[in-house]
Amino acid sequence: MTAADASVNPVSDGAPAPVLAFRDDALGTDDAVGLLARLKAGEVSAAEVARAAAERIRAVDGRLHAMRVEAFEAGIASAPGDGPLAGIPTLVKDNTTYAGLPTGHGTAAFTPRPAPRHAPFTRQFTSTGMTVLGKTRLPEFGFNASTEFEDAEPVRNPWNTEFSAGGSSGGSAALVAAGAVPIAHANDGGGSIRIPAAACGLVGLKPTRGRMAANETGRSLPIDIIVDGAVTRTVRDTAAFLAAAELARPAASLPPIGRVEGPGGRRLRVGLLLDSPTGTVTDDATRAAVTATATTLEGLGHQVEPYRMPLDARFEEDFVTYWGMLAFLAGATGRLLMDRRFDRRRMDGLSQGLRGQYLRRWHSTPAVLRRLRRAAREAYEDSAARYDVVLSPVLAHTTPRLGHLSPAVPFPELITRLKSYVAFTPVNNVCGSPAISLPGPGRTPEGLPVGVMLSGRIGEERTLLEAAYELEAAG
């Protein structure tokens, strides 16, 4: 069954069929690059495409619960924009300020009001010319690796709605995977682009720190772990987005990426990291997908060898402490940064647990920051000296069922589950290096994708994209 042919209705044996929006309309089955070619040829108009995307979102969101704010009519009226991706319909994650729309950050602790202006990254994102049709849901403050809530419907995975769509960019990933839009905004402070990309079978590239305009939250942190980007269904769409964003705001301190349109000719040295440097053992299905990808890379002429990343044993707990500091800051500054009516007592169980844990450890903050910086630098320098890229899982186990990572789970159990799931991605956030999640070979018995990750040297997104093109073509 192809994505375009799949029904949104349950199959006869009781297992849910994929919730997919592909149909015979102005969007068709094109990715963003294919759609852009038809827009430029005059085969469809930007307004027709935006209207089709709005109809697709309406058709599937009753099952997926991925939208936070709709702006369909305003988006249709504004199309086409002016930029290299003019007319491509898209969505913005609801932790990023977009003028005229509220920014809720996934929390029930306040009622958001329309923002007076765009965030710096929003200006960069919209300068590409894409048509913004609304905002997508995320877990509270983006802390969770699953887009779930205590008192609201979770965002559901379009491939099997009993399972998580990942987090924190789960709303964006669900709607791109379902075919409602070809590309959507995402951001990543510990894996939040790559995790939902892996869960939903998408391409999700976390850029090098500094590649994109500074995130509103990240630029105020002692270690800026947050970077913005997008999730897409194809490597060429991710490459096109990065090129368009770079035209709007070149990163002066980094080598330019340019437009990457296919594989590179250089054969790479690839480090194969199967088990997490934090000590978590990868499950069988994920290990099989990564091992098969390594075999593919070898068949393509790349040199692959096993690798063990040296990482301070305290890195995992230190990152959780830093995570807790973010929860503390969200509660302490909510009245200043979000709304004077912010009520931290309404923060969810994960946020409250992280905040409480940090308050018991706050005195260790200077040492935690020193260790995080040193551990990530040493791990990065070791891998960069040995390899052009490192191949690893995105996550230590396959996508969990909804409820496994719910913020209603008692905090001690929930944080244990999160540490055993999000075991590979945070190192890139602390050291600032780029990494890309790609759909691995095969599916789980429940029909879910399994993601694999390539991590690269700082500033070398081009290398990751070239390798990703090769893997996509070989798959």
Residues with catalytic annotation? Answer: 93, 168, 192
Residue type, 299: G
The strand order across the sheet containing 131-136 reads 67-70, 131-136, 89-93
CA-CA-CA-CA dihedral for 249, 252, 258, 263, to nearest 10: -130
To which residue do tokens 């994109």 refer?
Answer: 212
Q: CB neighbours (10 Å) of residue 457?
A: 19
Question: Rounded to whole angstroms, how far apart are CA atoms 109 and 141?
Answer: 11
- Encoded tokens for 125: 């994102």
**Token pair of 256 as six digits:** 């330019």
> Taking a C-beta distance cutoff of 8 angstroms, is the pair 286, 276 a contact?
no
In single-letter form, the type of residue at position 440 comes to G
Query: Is residue 215 a contact partner of residue 121, using CB atoms and an 8 Å limit?
Result: yes
DSSP helix/strand/coil, 84: coil
CB 204, CB 237: distance < 8 Å: no
What does the DSSP 8-state code read for residue 89? E
Rounded Cα distance, 362 and 357, in Å: 9
Cβ partners under 8 Å of residue 40, min gap 6: none
CA angle 31, 209, 474 (to 5 degrees): 40
Q: d(Cα 113, Cα 366) in Å, to the nearest integer?
A: 36
- Measured in whole angstroms, the distance separating CA 282 from the mean position of its chain's CA atoms is 21
* DSSP H helices in 300-364: 315-337, 349-361
Burial of 232 (0-12, 13-18, 19+ CB in 10 A): buried
Q: How far apart are CA 361 and CA 408, in angstroms?
A: 23
Strands of 303-306's sheet, edge to edge? 183-188, 227-232, 203-206, 435-439, 451-456, 389-393, 269-272, 303-306
Retrieve residue 253's tokens: 């301190």
How many of the other CB atoms lie within 10 Å of CB of 303? 13
Distance between CA atoms of 232 and 203, rounded to whole angstroms? 5
